[in-house]
Amino acid sequence: MSSDVRCQAATYSPSLVERFYRGIVLPGFDSVVKGRKTFQFADELNQSQWWPVEKIEELQSRRLSSLIEFCWQHSCHYRDAWTQAGLKASDIDSAGDLSKLPLTTRETMRDHASRIRTWLHGQASVVKSTGGSSGSPLRFTIDTEANDRRVAAALRGYAMAGGGPGTKQVHLWGGAIGDQGPLRAAKEYVYSRWLNRRVMLDSFGLCDSNAERFVRQINRHRPDVLVAYTNPIDTLSRIVLERDLSVHQPRAIITGAEKLHVHQRQRIEEAFGAPVFETYGSREFTLIGAECSEHAGLHLTSENLIVEVVDEDGRPTPEGEEGDIAVTDLWNRSTPFVRYLIGDRAVAGLERCPCGRGLPLLRKVVGRQLDMLPTLDGRRLPGEFFPHLIKDFVSIRQFQVVQRTIDEVVLKVIVDQRWSSEQADRLHALVSEGVGRTTRLRIEEVAAIPVTKQGKHRVVVSHVVERSIPQVSRAEVA
Ligand SMILES: [Zn+2]
C-alpha cells in the first residue's frame, strides 16, 4: 500500500453528519444524560498529545507523585510492600524513580484485593472484570472519573486512525454470549446503532460458509471505519481475496484485542484497500497504545499511564531487548495499579514519531497471541472467546483450553469453593455454543496448570492450529 493511501485516514474532512454527532449529539448525551466528563477529557487529550515530550514527562511525574502519596496514605498493601522494600512515598519523585518500587503481579492484585482497594467516603466507582489473556481472571474497581478519562483516551486513539466520535463504524467484535434478554438487546441496539453510528457484527460467529453475509453487511452499511478483532478480520480478508469478492473500501481499519502480525496487516490492506491501524489495550487500562497515520509504532496513552518494559527483577530492559510490560495507572484511585505486570511482552525503547506528537512510541508488543480454534463447522474461533466468557465466572481462578484434535476440546479450570455443578453445566452450555455442539467438550477441575518453558501461561493451546500457523507468525509469537 502506498504511503499516500496510508495517510488518507488522518487528513480526511469530516462530513456534516459526523460533525453534528461529534459536536452536539455525543457530548450532549455523555454530559447531560450520563453526567460524565468524557468529552471534556478527550478535548484535553487532543491538545496534550502535541505537547513536547518533556512537558508530558513533567505531567506524568506530577501525577505519579500524587498517586504514590495517595497509595501510601490509603492502600495498606502498597504501604506495607514499600515499607518492606525500605522505601517511603517521598522517594518517588519522578517517573524515573518508579523502578525502585516492587512489581505487582495479577495474583497479588487478586489475592490482596481488599488490602489494595482504597475505601474513601464519596468515592464513586464501577466494577470491572477481565478473563485475562494470561488465563487468570481478575475483578477490580475504577473511579468513575478515571473511567471517563480512559474512555476519552480510547476516543483519542481511534481518532488518530480517523475513527473518532461520530464516524460511521462497523465493529467485527466479540458478541454477547448467552441470552441477553430482549430489553438489554434493544438498549444495546439503540446505543450502538442510533447514538454511536455503530453496527456490531459478532466475530465469534464468522466462518468460511457465512463470510459472504458479513461482506454483504459491510457493503450495505458502508462504514467510514471498520473496527475488528485481528484474527476475524484477517480471516474475512483471506476469503475476500480467495473468492475475489467486491467489498466496501472504508477509510481505515482499526484492529485490537489480538496481536497484529505483518502478514495479516498486508492481507487486510490488500483485501479492503484501506490502511490498518493497530491498537493495544486491556480490560485493566482500556487503550494503552494506538497507531497514527505514520504507522511507526504505538503512541502510548502517556497522560494516563506509565508503561515500562522490565526484566524479572523489575529493572528497565535495555533498549532493543524484550521484557515484560508493567503499567501504572495514574488515575485509578479505588483499585490502584502500580507497576502491574499485565502479562504481555514488548521490545524496550521508546521512540519519537515523525507525526510530531509528543506521546512516545512503544516499539513492538510481542507474546499476546492467543491461538485460534478451528471448529468442525469450518470457523476459526478466536482464543479471545474464552477470557471474554470466563470473566463472568468469579469462582474460576485460572483456566486453560486445550484442543488436541479438531473435535475434542478440554477446558481445564482451577476453581474455588464457590464453584458448583450448576455453574459447570452453564459453562459447558456456553462453551459448546462457541466450539460447536458436535465437538466433544470436557470441563476438568485441576489443581495446577502447567506453564511453558519460558514460564508463561498459555490460555489456549490448539495442537490443530499449531501445525497450520505460517512460519512468520510462529517466529513472532515465540
Ligand atoms: Zn505519530
In this predicted model, what pLDDT tens digit does every residue of 362-382 receive, in sequence order? 987 875 556 678 888 877 787
pLDDT at 411: 94
In this predicted model, what pLDDT tens digit does every residue of 259-291 receive, in sequence order? 787 888 999 999 999 999 999 998 899 999 999
How many degrees, rounded to 5, is the angle at CA 459 between CA 425 and CA 175? Answer: 65
Cα of 235 vs centre of ligand 1, distance in Å, is 28
Cα of 287 vs centre of ligand 1, distance in Å, is 16
Cα of 296 vs centre of ligand 1, distance in Å, is 7
pLDDT at 32: 86
Cα of 252 vs centre of ligand 1, distance in Å, is 16
pLDDT at 350 over 80: no
> In this predicted model, which residue has the larger pLDDT, 86 or 133?
86
Q: In angstroms, rounded to a whole number, what is the distance separating the alpha carbons of residues 119 and 289?
A: 30
Q: In angstroms, rounded to a whole number, what is the distance separating the alpha carbons of residues 331 and 37?
A: 14
Question: Is residue 315 within 8 Å of 99, Cβ to Cβ?
Answer: yes
Residue 93 — pLDDT band, cuts 50, 70, 90?
confident
Cα of 157 vs centre of ligand 1, distance in Å, is 11
Residue 476 — pLDDT band, cuts 50, 70, 90?
very low
> In this predicted model, which residue has the larger pLDDT, 225 or 15?
225
The predicted model gives 397-415 an average pLDDT of 89
Which percentage of the chain shows pLDDT scores above 70? 90
Residue 472 — pLDDT band, cuts 50, 70, 90?
very low
How high is the mean pLDDT of the chain?
A: 86
Cα of 51 vs centre of ligand 1, distance in Å, is 13
- For 48, phi then psi, to 5°, come to -65, -20
pLDDT at 439 over 70: yes
pLDDT at 40: 96
pLDDT at 428 over 90: yes
Poorest-confidence range of 254-268, 318-332, 405-419? Answer: 254-268
The predicted model gives 441-454 an average pLDDT of 80
pLDDT at 469: 35
In this predicted model, what pLDDT tens digit does every residue of 145-203 receive, in sequence order? 999 999 999 999 999 999 999 999 999 987 665 667 788 888 888 888 888 888 999 88
Cα of 288 vs centre of ligand 1, distance in Å, is 15
Cα of 356 vs centre of ligand 1, distance in Å, is 6
Cell readout for 251 is: 477509510
The predicted model gives 75-92 an average pLDDT of 94
The predicted model gives 111-115 an average pLDDT of 92
Cα of 328 vs centre of ligand 1, distance in Å, is 22
The predicted model gives 401-405 an average pLDDT of 89
Cα of 1 vs centre of ligand 1, distance in Å, is 18
Cα of 299 vs centre of ligand 1, distance in Å, is 7
Cα of 289 vs centre of ligand 1, distance in Å, is 11
Cα of 18 vs centre of ligand 1, distance in Å, is 23
Poorest-confidence range of 111-115, 366-370, 385-389? Answer: 366-370
pLDDT at 370: 60
Cα of 294 vs centre of ligand 1, distance in Å, is 6
Cα of 47 vs centre of ligand 1, distance in Å, is 14
pLDDT at 10: 57
pLDDT at 454 over 60: no
Q: What single string gives the DSSP state of each residue in 27-77?
A: HHIIIIIS---HHHHHHHHHHHTTS-HHHHHHHHHHHHHHHHHHHHHH-HH
Cα of 359 vs centre of ligand 1, distance in Å, is 8
pLDDT at 148: 96
Question: Hey, what domains does the chain have and what are their CATH numbers?
Answer: 3-52+146-366 (3.40.50.12780), 373-477 (3.30.300.30)
Q: In angstroms, rounded to a whole number, what is the distance separating the alpha carbons of residues 317 and 196?
A: 41
Cα of 361 vs centre of ligand 1, distance in Å, is 8
Cα of 292 vs centre of ligand 1, distance in Å, is 5
Cα of 293 vs centre of ligand 1, distance in Å, is 7
Cα of 360 vs centre of ligand 1, distance in Å, is 8
169-198: string of b/e by CB count within 10 Å (b at 16+)?
Answer: bbbbbbeebeeeeeeeeeeeeeeeeeebbb
